[in-house]
Structure formats: C-alpha cells, structure tokens
Structure 1
Amino acid sequence: MLYDIWTVFWRDWLVLRRRIGRFILSRMVSPILYLVAFGWGLGRSIQVNQGSYLDFIVPGIIALNSMNISFISVGSPLNMSRLYHKTLEEYLIAPIGSASFVIGKVLAGALRGLISSVIIIALAYAFGAHLTINVWFLLVLTLNCLVFASMALVAAMIMNSHEDMANFNTYVLLPMSFLCATFFVPDHLPVLLAWVIKILPLTHASHALRSISSGGSVPMTSIFMMVSYIALFISTGVWLMKKVRE
C-alpha cells in the first residue's frame, strides 16, 4: 500500500517539478498584495492585543493561502480528469487500491499547500512580521493542507461539471476565506453565525496558527477537530472511489 501511495504521489510531484518556477512565482502575487494592503497599509494604524495587525493577520493569510492552494491543486485537476480527460480511468484499471489513490492525491495537494506557505512565511519576515515557527506550527499547517486537499478530492468526485466546482468554491471556500478568523476574530458576529463559523476547519487552523505564532498555548481542541475533518473526508473519498469502481 505504501508503494502504491508513493506511486500516485510521485506522479503528481513530477508534474509539479517541471513547473516549480512558475508555481512559486504565481503563488507570490496574492500574499504580497495582502501584506502590502493589510500589513503596511491598514496594519500600521491598528494595534491588536498589544501587537501589530501585521503579526495578527499573517497566520490568517497562511491558513487562507494553504487552504486555497491545497484545494485547487487536487479539486480542479481531478474533476477535469474524471469528467473530460478521462485519465482517472487509468487509475481505476491500475492495480492500485482506492485508499492508496486517495491518500496519494491528498498528500500531493498538501505538498503544494506547504510549499506556498513557506513562500508566505519568508515574505512575512521580509515585511517585518514577528512569528514563532515551531513543530506545533508546522503540524497545524500540515493538517490544514490535508483537510482541504481531502475536501477537494471529495468535491471533485461529487461535482458533475467544471461549473459545479466553481460554484463550490464560491459558496464554500469564499465565505470561509473572509469569515474564519483570517482577517478578524468572529466573536462579535451574531451568535448563530459565530457558532457556525467556529466549527469550520479554517477557523481552527487560523486560531491555532495565530496562537502558536504569538507564543501562546497549543489549542489541542483545534488539532483534534482538524484531524477529525481529515478522517471524515479521506474515508468519504475512499468510499466514493470504491463506488466508481463498482
């Protein structure tokens, strides 16, 4: 099984390696705009918890970017290969188990999310942010990438058109991008809305990254919730793959 997972992962890594330069440059654009607009522009006039808004917002930007890159890296290509290019059929007839395929794809998507996050961290330091990066920070970041890579796989197997995938981004990812503690703490929102937001995976990632990067405690509840989301999405993805093979 490990060899099969590695085979699926290695195929996606070879594709990324050929485009690594363009991948890195393209992933620098949005973070730079966020850092300039919110860090240098708005951030200089705002203090949050006796610190700068730049230090507050960078963990949210990292969580947001790793969500988007991990999701896009798995969701759109897999949906296209299933519906239009029909290359998913190559995996279906190959002697590779459904679980191996799902885990390999999720790991490949998470790797892209991690690479883009390293770029943001480097840019944040260049912009003057103060962050504590340790093993717990990297663990939470990795879990966030795995959550949304596995969510993307489930979405790609369910959505039956490229337009449906775009609608999923609009109705699911876009609201989370702005509401899940990325740019502000959702505590002052209406109670029901705040409760819904607090159970979403990106909220837990933003909260955990922000707490750890500022030298605070490690929120084990958030880590548990993210692991639960990963288990749910991966098990659902395996079930969907087995259903396609029947």
Structure 2
Amino acid sequence: MIREITYDIYTILWQDWISFKKSFLKFLLSRMITPILYIVAFGFGLGKNVNLGTGNYLEFIIPGMIALNSMNIAYNTVAHPLAISRIYYKTLENFLIAPINPRAIIIGKILTGVFRAILSSSIILLIAFVLDLKLIFGIGFFAVLLLNSAVFAAIGLVVGLRVMSSEELNNFSSYILMPMSFLCGTFFSTEVFPAYIKNLVGILPLTPAANLLRALAQGESYDYKFICILIIYLLITSVYAHKLLLKKSRE
C-alpha cells in the first residue's frame, strides 16, 4: 500500500516536472523581480526612516518576505493550474479515472507547491547572503518554511477544487491573500494593531509563519502555538481537499 502510494506521488511530481522544466529559467528570473523591488522600495527606501530599536529594517522584512513569497508561490502553483484545468479543460477527470490513489494526488500536489516555493524563496535567501545580513537560516528556519509552503499549497488545493470560475479564483486572491500579505507581520509588527484586530490577524496562517521565521532568523525565542496553528491548518485543509476530491470522483 505504502509502496503504491509512493509510486503514485512520484507520478504526480514527475508529471509536473515535465511541464515545469520547460519554463524553469523564466520561473527563476521572474521570481527575482518582486523581492528586489520590495528590498529597494521598503528596505533601502522606506526602511531608512524606520527605527526598530534593534537591527535594521532589512533584517526585519527579509523573513517576512520569505513567508509572503512562499505563501504566494505555493498557493498559485496549485490553485490556478488545478482550477483552470478542472473548469475549462476537464483534465482533473484524467487523474480521477487513472489508477492513482486520491491521497497520492493530494500529497503530490502539495509537494509540487512546496518545491516551487522553496526554489523561489532560495532567491531571497541568496539576496540576504549577498547583502551580508545578520540572519540565521538554520534547520528550524527551513522546517517552518516547508510547513508554511505546505499549508498554502493545501489551501490552493482546496480553492482549486471548489471554485467554479476564474472570477471566484481571483476573488480569493483579492479578498484573502492580498490582505494577509500586508497585515500578517510581513512588513511591520502586528503589535501596532488594536487588540481585537491583532487577535483576528493572529489566527491567519501567514502571521504565525512570519513570526516564526523572523524569530528563528534573528535567533530569538518563539511561541510554540504558532507551530500548532500551522499544523492545524495543514491537517484541516488536507483532509477537506481529500473529501472534495472523493466527491469529484463520484460526480
């Protein structure tokens, strides 16, 4: 059973790699643009006027940018291709009628999002290395990066299986991902918010990811509840995606 699922996961990953390798260089080059713009605009521009008391603003936003980048890449890698292919090209049926375990489809799609998110985030890590920032990128940091990428890949899977049009797909990005991008501690601390907003923002998945990555990169202590929040998100979205996939197979 485990061997069969492993082979099915490999099949999903290989299918994605065949299409991805054709645009590999374009993917890397395009993912360099946004981090560089953020660093120039916020780090060197706005950051000159920001006093954090300890460290500089670039060292503050780099972990937040990595959290934000992994969110966007993991989500978009899964949600958009799945939704478009399911709605307009009906290719999801090919997976459903193939002798592939539904769990393997879920895991394979999530790992696809994780792979691209890590690849894209490595560009920001390289920029941080070139700028000689005093940040620590250890095993714990990469573990949280993997977890955050998996969470948003799973969310992308749920959205890709649920939306009925490209408009609904865009609405999720506009109403959910975009607010999280700026409110969840990526560019400034959530401590500036009133208590009720801080508590609301605190349960969104990007907030614990940004806080964890920043604490680990700066060698500070962190709250273990942030890890629990991310794991809960991953479990809930993965199980829900599996139920959606089974429902689609019966339709």
Q: Settle same-fold status: TM greater than 0.5.
A: yes
For 1:230 and 1:13, how far apart are their aligned partners in 2? 24
User: How far off is 1:125 after superposition?
Assistant: 2.3
User: What is the match of residue 85 of structure 2?
Assistant: 81
**C-alpha RMSD of the superposition:** 1.1
Q: Which residue of 1 aligns with 2:113?
A: 109
**2:28 pairs with 1:24:** yes
AA matched with 2:232: S
Q: Structure 1 stretches of 5 or more lacking a match?
A: none
Going from structure 1 to structure 2, the CA distance change for 1:74 and 1:180 (only over 3 Å counts) comes to same
| Contact 1:181-1:206 within 8 A present in 2 as well | yes
Q: Which residue of 2 aligns with 1:11?
A: 15
CA shift at 1:219, angstroms? 3.4
Aligned partner letter, 1:203: T
Instruction: State the Cα distance separating 1:222 from its structure 2 match.
Output: 1.2
Q: Deviations over 1:177-214 (max 9, x none)?
A: 00000011112212221111001110000000000000
Kindly provide the CA deviation profile for residues 51-103 of structure 1, in whole angstroms up to 9, marking residues without a partner as x: 10110011001100110011110000000111001111110110112111011
- AA at the equivalent of 2:35: P
Following TM superposition, by how much is the alpha carbon of 1:38 offset from its aligned partner in structure 2, in angstroms? Answer: 1.1
Greater Cα shift, 23-32 or 224-233: 224-233
Match for 2:188: what amino acid? F
Unaligned runs of 5+ in 2: none
Partner of 2:202: 198
One of 234, 244, 249 as aligned partner of 1:245:
249
Letter in 1 for 2:167: E
Contact 1:24–1:116 at 8 Å: present in 2 too? Answer: yes
Q: How many residue pairs are counted as aligned between the two chains? A: 246
1:175 matches 2:147: no
Is contact 1:35-1:127 (8 Å) kept? Answer: no
The equivalent residue for 1:67 is 71
Letter in 1 for 2:110: V
Deviation at 1:218?
4.4
- Could you list the per-position Cα deviations for residues 128-167 of structure 1 after superposition, in whole angstroms to 9, with x for gaps in the alignment? 4221000000000000100000000001111100110000
Q: Which amino acid aligns with 2:181?
A: S
1:234 Cα offset (Å): 0.6
2:124 corresponds to = 120
SS at match of 2:136: coil
AA at the equivalent of 2:243: W
Task: Give, as a single letter, the amino acid of the residue that structure 1 aligns with 2:124.
Answer: I
| Equivalent position amino acid for 1:43 in 2 | G
1:41 to 32, 38, 45: 45
Alpha-carbon separation, structure 2, partners of 1:154 and 1:72: 12
The aligned counterpart of 1:232 is 236
Letter in 2 for 1:152: G
Equivalents in 2 of 1:133, 1:73: separation in Å? 24
1:184 is paired with a residue whose SS is coil
d(CA) in 2 for partners of 1:5 and 1:170?
A: 31
Contact 1:109 1:145 in 2 (8 A): yes
Deviation at 1:47, TM superposition (A): 2.8
User: Percent of pairs identical after alignment?
Assistant: 43
Paired letter, 1:145: S
Q: Tell me what 1:92 maps to.
A: 96
